[in-house]
């Protein structure tokens, strides 16, 4: 079955049908695909039916409310991904040959990448593509990942690997976690008995801290944690005032340590990774491709 060739030369084929089909598979839901595409669920169903009619095959088994691909459906999916990538590349080349890169881009970033990676990236991107309007959304890793999944954010820099299989991520940097205390904290004290300051639920730093503590046999739930704070800058100030101790990124702590405001009382050996994430890589807009390249060029040179 020369499926790829057949799809290329089928003049009745609408690329939108293929894109809809792929989204249904990636999101495992007609309803979620409809939301992603800005369509109704019946509209998505109709496009899939038209695609099946044009190809003369059945794409899905529909049993007990679950969708599974037929053998032909799996072949169509593989070819559809290739075709959409080729189509996106062709569109990008055509646009770039006519006009300078311009438009809008929404970048999401969790707190640590927003402070330590994003400024240099945005500075380089602005120099290279001054006609692009960039909007930056900063939040915890969970919220940024959600924005990426629902299409409100185009590219994201986050402090954990995405959980959604529909998202693709590449490591862009790493760091160590440290436990910090006020400068007058006695190293003879047992820090496990001190009040702990944690980031909010959904924070990549909080999850990494819980995992790091568990790695040395300390359960986060067993610690006295009177504060939950969604800003690391405030956590540093509270630690400086002697309110408690905290697990933070070494990147965030280093300046306060150098100034003598806080001290590191424990350094975890495990490395924490940071990621640049996107919804998927075969239909990126040229602006998104340019931003991703800027991310890699900026961080690989440091």
Domain containing residue 59: CATH number:
1.10.10.10
Beta bridge partners of 137: 108
84 pLDDT higher than 90: no
CA distance 235 to 155: 28
Q: What is the pLDDT of residue 256?
A: 94
91 pLDDT higher than 90: no
Lowest average pLDDT, out of 68-72, 83-87, 115-119, goes to 83-87
Q: What is the pTM of this model?
A: 0.61
DSSP per residue over 252-285, as a string?
Answer: HHHHHHHTTSEEEEEEEEEEEEEEEEES-SSS--
87 pLDDT higher than 50: yes
DSSP per residue over 59-99, as a string?
Answer: -EEEETTEEEE-HHHHHHHHHHHHHHHHHHHHHHHHHHHHS
Q: What is the pLDDT of residues 112-158, one digit of tens each?
A: 899 999 999 999 999 999 999 999 999 888 889 888 888 889 999 99
Same domain for 235 and 123: no
- Arithmetic mean of pLDDT, 211-217: 93
Sheet holding 103-109, edge to edge: 132-138, 103-109, 155-158, 262-278, 168-182, 245-249, 196-199, 227-229
Residue of higher predicted confidence among 139 and 302: 139
Same domain for 210 and 189: yes
Q: What is the pLDDT of residue 10?
A: 45
- Arithmetic mean of pLDDT, 81-97: 73
| Distances in whole angstroms, Cα of residue 193 to Cα of each of 50, 225, 244, 247 | 65, 10, 10, 14
Same domain for 293 and 161: yes
Same domain for 188 and 268: yes
Same domain for 281 and 153: yes
Same domain for 108 and 94: no
Q: What are phi and psi of 281, to 5 degrees?
A: -105, 5
Residue of higher predicted confidence among 267 and 18: 267
Domains identified in the chain, total number: 3
**CATH number where 146 lies:** 3.40.190.10
78 pLDDT higher than 90: no
Q: What is the pLDDT of residue 96?
A: 59
Same domain for 89 and 69: yes
Q: What is the pLDDT of residues 165-190, one digit of tens each?
A: 888 899 998 899 999 999 999 989 99
- Name the pLDDT band for 98 (thresholds 50, 70, 90): low
Q: What is the pLDDT of residue 61?
A: 84
DSSP per residue over 207-261, as a string?
Answer: HHHHHHHHHTT--GGGS---EEES-HHHHHHHHHTTS-EEEEEHHHHHHHHHTTS
Same domain for 169 and 290: yes
Same domain for 158 and 108: yes
Same domain for 163 and 183: no
Residue with tokens 């959304």: 137
Same domain for 217 and 157: no
**CATH number where 195 lies:** 3.40.190.290
Same domain for 255 and 181: yes
CA distance 30 to 20: 9
Q: What is the pLDDT of residue 282?
A: 54
Which range marks the domain in which residue 205 is found? 174-272
**What is the chain's mean pLDDT, rounded?**
86
């Amino acid at each position: 079955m020369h499926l790829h060739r057949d799809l290329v030369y089928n003049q009745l084929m609408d690329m939108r049908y293929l894109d809809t089909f792929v989204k249904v598979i990636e999101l495992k839901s007609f309803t979620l695909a409809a939301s992603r595409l800005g369509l109704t669920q019946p509209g998505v169903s109709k496009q899939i039916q038209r695609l099946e009619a044009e190809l003369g095959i059945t794409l899905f088994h529909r049993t007990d409310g679950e969708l599974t691909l037929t053998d032909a459906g799996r072949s169509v999916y593989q070819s559809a991904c290739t075709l959409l990538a080729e189509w996106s590349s062709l569109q990008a080349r055509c646009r770039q040959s006519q006009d300078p890169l311009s438009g809008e881009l929404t970048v999401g970033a969790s707190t640590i990448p927003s402070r330590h990676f994003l400024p240099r990236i945005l500075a380089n991107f602005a120099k290279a593509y001054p006609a692009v309007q960039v909007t930056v959304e900063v939040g915890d890793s969970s919220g940024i990942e959600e924005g990426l999944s629902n299409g409100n954010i185009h590219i994201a820099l986050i402090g954990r690997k995405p959980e959604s299989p529909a998202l693709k991520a590449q490591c862009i940097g790493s760091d160590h976690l440290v436990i910090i205390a006020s400068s007058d904290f006695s190293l003879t004290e047992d820090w496990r008995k001190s009040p702990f300051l944690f980031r909010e639920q959904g924070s990549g730093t909080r999850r990494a801290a819980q995992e790091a503590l568990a790695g040395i046999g300390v359960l986060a739930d067993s610690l006295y944690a009177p504060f939950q704070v969604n800003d690391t800058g405030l956590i540093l100030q509270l630690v400086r005032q002697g309110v408690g101790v905290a697990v933070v990124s070494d990147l965030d702590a280093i300046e306060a340590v150098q100034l003598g405001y806080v001290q590191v009382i424990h350094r975890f050996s495990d490395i924490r990774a940071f990621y640049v994430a996107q919804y998927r890589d075969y239909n990126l807009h040229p602006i998104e491709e340019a931003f991703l390249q800027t991310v890699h060029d900026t961080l690989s040179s440091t």
